Amino acid sequence: DGGITQSPKYLFRKEGQNVTLSCEQNLNHDAMYWYRQDPGQGLRLIYYSQIVNDFQKGDIAEGYSVSREKKESFPLTVTSAQKNPTAFYLCASSIDLATSAQETQYFGPGTRLLVL
């Protein structure tokens, strides 16, 4: 059963705590993305990765960090430096844009992060 999985569905963060959101895909996609979704706003790009061991900052990278050690995994860490982390976080993947015309991004089910 192919697709993108995110865990957990809900995550609670205490003040000053770092938390990590998981994203896994078995679609053999090269590129992976993290977005943040706030009510009434479009998706905003946090980080993206087009190949293993490489990633680039998106539009709102401050307070976040990522790693891409494996093709199928792209975890996102929300650090204590992110002062307003409450949001719905979405992971997506796509076939590599540099070598394919298929730019379509497919999304996971999302993780809702709440601050205690």
Q: How many CA atoms lie within 13 A of 87 on its CB side?
A: 23
Cβ neighbour number for residue 116 with a 10 Å cutoff: 7
Q: Which of 113, 100, 115 is nearest to 27 (CA)?
A: 100
52 is a site residue for another protein (CB under 8 A)? no
13 is a site residue for another protein (CB under 8 A)? no
Contact yes or no for 82/64 (Cβ under 8 A)? yes
Binding mask 55-94 for another protein (x = CB under 8 A): ---x-----------------------------x-x----
Supply the minimum distance, in Å, between the C-beta of residue 101 and another protein. 9
Q: Which residues bind another protein (CB under 8 A)?
A: 4, 6, 31, 35, 37, 39-43, 45, 48, 50, 58, 88, 90, 97-98, 103-110, 112
